[in-house]
Structure formats: C-alpha cells, structure tokens
Amino acid sequence: MSAAPENQFHSDLYGGRLTIDVDAISRNWRVLREKLGGKSECAAAIKADAYGTGQKEVGRALFAAGCRTFFVAVPTEAIALRQVLPEAVIYALNGLLPGTSGPYLEHNIRPVLGSLAELEDWIALCKSSGRSLDAAVHVDTGIHRLGLSPEEFSQTLGDAGMMGPFVPSLLMSHLACGSTPSHAMNRRQLDLFREVTAPHAHLRRSLANSAGVLMGEDYHFDLVRPGISLYGGQAIDDDPNPMTPVAKVEARIMIVRDVPEGDTIGYGAMHTAKRPLRNAVVAAGYADGMLRRAGSTDERPGGFAMISGHRAPILGRISMDMITLDVTDIPEHLLERGTYVEMLGPNVAAADLAAYAETIDYEYLTSLGRRFERVYGPLT
C-alpha cells in the first residue's frame, strides 16, 4: 500500500486517511460487464474525480481491465483524462458550451449534445469540415434535464439535409427512477427511447446507468454507463448491494473524555447524555466530507463509526473539523490517542451513512477526504 503522489506531508501530520482500492473498482466493473453477456459494451462514468476516488488512477486501472469508453461531466475532466488515456473514447456529458468546439477537437473529446442549439452548432462544424465529427445525441425521455425533446430529436435526425455529414456516434437517454425498478417511469422511458430511436437502430444506443445494468437486458442496448456501482455504491434502493466496497475513510482519535449524565455535547447542545458517557473526539468533520446532517440530536440518532469491530454512535452535531463518538462500551485499550477509526468503508457503508444524513451515497463519495492522506491499495 503506497501513498498517492499528491501527499505532501508525513502520515502522522494528517488527521485522517482515505484508502482507495482501484483493483476493487476494476473487479466491480468486471462484475457489471459479465451481466451484459457479451451483448453490450460496458463503459464507465468517472466524472467528479471518479466519484472522489481519483480520475487518473481509476481511469488507468479500468483501461487495463478492458474498459475503452469513459464518461465525464465537463470538458476539463475530459482533457485531464485524455492525458493519461490517449487511446480511450471519452464523452463529456454536459455537452457543448459556446466557443468550446476547438478544445473538443484538439483533444479528441466527444460532446454529448443535449439541446437543439448544441446539435445545430455541431452540425455546422461538421458541414464546414466536410466530415462527421464524433458526438453523442441525448434525447430526453422524461427526466427533463438535458436532452432534445422527442419531437426535436425525430425531426432533426430524420432530416438528411439538416444533418449533413454528421452521423452520431451514440444515441442516449438517462433513467430518472432506476434506483426503484418497479417505478412505472422506467418502462415509460424505455418504451419512448425505443420508439424515437427505432428509425436509427443502426446507430449505437445507450440508456442504462448502474441501475439500468442491474435491471436487465431490456435496458442494455449497445452500451451501458455504470457509475455508482463501480465505486461500491447502492444503485438499487431495496436490493442487496452486490458490489465490493472500494474506499475507506479513517479518522484519528484526538482525545477521550468523560461526559456526566445530563450534560450536552457539541454545538447547539443538541444531544444530552442519558447516562454517564465516555466520548472520543476524532479529526474529521464536514470539511472532510462527513456530512453535517448525519449528526444526532435528542430526538433522533445519528450515524456511526467502527472501532475494532465495535460500533461507536455519533454524538451531537458534526463540526467542520471534528466528530464526537460514543465509546462508553468500547474497551479502553482500543481508544489510544492517534488510533484510526473507520468512518466509512467495508464496515460502515456509504449508503447507511447517507440514510442518516437524508441524502445518497453519491454525495458522500464525491465529497470525501479533501484533507486526508490519500492512499491507494487494499482496504485491509
């Protein structure tokens, strides 16, 4: 296990440690690819710095595993990824802002064209160059974010004179309710996507995110774009998560102290000790991605950490730089100053913490460890 190049200081100077297992990410990708039965290509969404795990490191590992197509959000992410993956196909999901076609062409980046104006600009560029330039076209099937309306999509792609030499490299849409497979919206989107793309079925098509991969062959088409599942996250809300954890956040104990019964803990005096307590204060907070909403109050429990197999509930509000844990029932020899405490990882799932914070595991993963030592290797 070795420290990543960006670590500037000795390990003891960090308040916490973020360990990332890129081999586990590659294994998760292979698990998803196997579900396709060789009928579809398995791409990878590595936007937001590969969901907080390191875009360059993850990109290299996935390419070595066999992944050849990658999706990021913005062109700056795409250009950075191109520096380490010169042969990969790279799509930028957020499309084509005015005046940005030059960098797309210079770095061989494919925009996902998500509006009629973007499509018209790209067609004009293709006509001026006299050739088709690779880009995807996004049709909105009901999520009402990016994407041409079905009417715009059908009218434009069906007009050979308007399209000129441009032939899309991919037709795509995005599921709104994939995390709930029984939701009627999924079938409506699937049916609409089939309908509007049927005249262009000779082109490659893509609908499935992580949830779509797990929902079965109907959603796979020619290419799937898993994201959260690659990083061990929960793609489908009520099913067991088949993916392997890939990240572990550990924070160091700064102090262990006694709290008398009836005293309050943390900002706002939100949590009152119902008995004499011992608490441990660890060097992590919302500035490190430990979301404030996962704190506890007298009315509701908060999240938890794990210390050598023992559960340590969060007490009171999560501060910017520290969290207080209830260690009353944990053996004292496990609570030495400087000891690492698992805040998220194999024993503290991001989805579980997210439930306490009234959010989703995506938010945890993409926010993690800006001040932690970053280490690449196994989570053991």
| Active site positions, annotated | 47, 267
* Cβ neighbours of 95 (radius 10 Å): 24
- Take residue 321 and report the two structure tokens written for it: 């730089």
**How far apart are alpha carbons 62 and 70 in whole angstroms?**
9
**How far apart are alpha carbons 169 and 187 in whole angstroms?**
25
C-alpha angle 77-242-300 in degrees, rounded to nearest 5: 85
Half-sphere exposure at residue 221, Cβ-oriented, CA atoms within 13 angstroms? 27
Q: Which of 316, 319, 341 is nearest to 330 (CA)?
A: 341
**How far apart are alpha carbons 52 and 78 in whole angstroms?**
16
Contact in structure between 67 and 49 (CB atoms under 8 Å): no
Which residue is it, tokens 């992580």?
210
